[in-house]
Amino acid sequence: MATSKHDISIGDLVKDIQTGKLRLPEMQRRYVWRAARVRDLLDSLYRGYPSGSILIWETDNPQPSRDLDVAQAKNPFGGHKLLLDGQQRLTSLSAILRGEPVVVRGRKRPIEILFNLEHPDNILEFTEVEEDQDDDDAEDAIEEETSVADRIRNRTFVVASRALAQLPNWVSVSDIFTSTGDSQLLKKAGVTSFDDPRIDKYVSRIQKVRAIQNYMYSVNLLSKDIQYEEVAEIFVRVNSLGVKLRGSDLALAQITARWPNSLELFEKFQEECEEYSIDLDIGTLVRALVVFATNQCKFARVSQLSREKLEEAWEKTKQGLSFAISFLRTRADIADESLLSSPLFFITLAYFSQIRGERLSEKDAKGLLRWLHLANARGRYGRGSSDTLLDNDLRAIHKGGGPDELIEILRQQVGRLELEASDFVGRGINSALFPLVFLVLKQRGATDWETGVGISTSVQGKQHKIQYHHIFPKSKLKEQYDRQLVNEIANMAFIGARTNQRISSKKPTEYLRAIRDGRGEKVLTAQAIPLDEKLYEIETFEAFLTERRQRLADAVNEFLRSLE
């Protein structure tokens, strides 16, 4: 197999993307880079540092392909140059140079990077500006944004924030590339006269940023005479070397090599799931397909699967996942995947349904529901060796085991199944207990404290969107108490966005009594909040946590026992 090497500028590669000449092979994953990675790439290119090479397959024959996740023209003469390695970099650069948004999870999003006209000449470490804070953290976000702006004033590139974008020396990198001249950029920076001593430095630095489009990438071109199957093998090997792709991405490359246009089927089913507010990524669909094709979840056997076997397994995958979604929504009251500690639960439920021919007795359905909540609360697939744990469950189901066997396997993993107050110590929103607490409080009739609207993930209207609320506000605790305690589940309640904003940083003594007097005690007890007002003082915060942990444990255990 022959390859040839060429030096091609970033500007020319971006043009090929824009005109549709350069596309992706079907096996490629979607764009996944965060803005911080784009910032670091720009910084390296600005300094002239090496940033890897590009791998392209140029073929004379039509091949299954797809657009990059940035706008591309429809080119009837293009599409025969397929990008095998370098997608994340070139998608990012195309978005920045053209000022175009990228598509991430079906939504168009701009990549907003700022350049510091007053950056020092020495090299400094990178610092990222966080954005899109939750509404309940707005006050902290303002404080943090101010301190971050102070710390990073000597940086060269940063992820944009509203505060920094208002400062005169920070300019949008995309504006540098898309503007027809320097006058607007200089005006924004406060340079309005040719006599300004900063003008030469600023113009020089703007030109240096624009010179990024002249950076020459070393491009390896694969010869035209190789077959798609061999290209897929090259793709897998290239991307395995740097552990750049997940196992599901590599498996997808092998699947599309044997089954052209299969990715289109996966994405169509993915869109159907999104209509029910379920977001299943392609990786989960690929793993489910492997499960139904091989009765186990590891990807090593994918290379042995024929197209016929894959097509047969895909039909079972769709049926099984459709059952899983319906079961979660109607029996478990789980309307979207955010209430699951792992997407692998979809696969276990799907596999169980197909092994049983979608014929479940009421005892099995109730037992499966109990296993689901127990396993979800204990983070069954959220720990290490999730593949092994999933395979253990699949093996038990394949041998005819039911929910009782699954629960026993879980017991062997975690020990006791009932929760204790101590299980909540230090557990926050990333804990597997968090979604279960939400479901249990919802089942107990928890409502918003002002509107009376029941808590749910599917409420209508931005003002009713359910948020987690710090009962004791962070701003009143951060000087006295450890951050883990402040952000513990036991310090969380679930209320609407507007109510959360109105309460803001008030102390519990300032608002809980008014809520109880206005709407009755049940509005607090439904969320397992103690009624003893002595516990609402800042000084009794730890005593409040102790009491609420116990109440939450009791509520969860009562809920789980009701499923026996």
State the Cα–Cα distance between residues 313 and 319, nearest whole angstrom. 10
For residues 444-452, average pLDDT: 87
Contact assessment for residue 419 and residue 379, using Cβ atoms and an 8 Å cutoff: no
Q: If DSSP codes are grouped into helix, strand and coil, which group holds residue 328?
A: helix
Quick check: 428 pLDDT over 80? yes
DSSP 491: G
β-strands 81-85, 22-25 pairing: parallel
Confidence of residue 245 (pLDDT cuts 50, 70, 90): low
DSSP 160: -
For residue range 495-507, list pLDDT tens digits in order: 888 888 888 889 9
For residues 339-363, average pLDDT: 93
Quick check: 138 pLDDT over 70? no
For residue range 14-68, list pLDDT tens digits in order: 999 999 999 988 877 788 898 999 999 999 999 999 888 999 988 877 777 888 9
Q: Which residues pair with 5 in a beta bridge?
A: 220
State the Cα–Cα distance between residues 120 and 128, nearest whole angstrom. 17
State the Cα–Cα distance between residues 495 and 465, nearest whole angstrom. 8
State the Cα–Cα distance between residues 184 and 175, nearest whole angstrom. 9
Q: If DSSP codes are grouped into helix, strand and coil, which group holds residue 159?
A: strand
Q: Does the predicted model carry a pTM greater than 0.85? A: no
Q: Which residues pair with 81 in a beta bridge?
A: 22, 58
Q: Give the per-residue pLDDT at 554.
A: 95
Q: Give the per-residue pLDDT at 131.
A: 32
Residues contacting 22, CB < 8 A, separation 6+: 13, 16, 56, 68, 78, 81, 82, 83, 90
Quick check: 490 pLDDT over 60? yes
For residue range 267-320, list pLDDT tens digits in order: 999 999 988 888 888 889 999 999 999 999 988 888 889 999 999 999 999 999
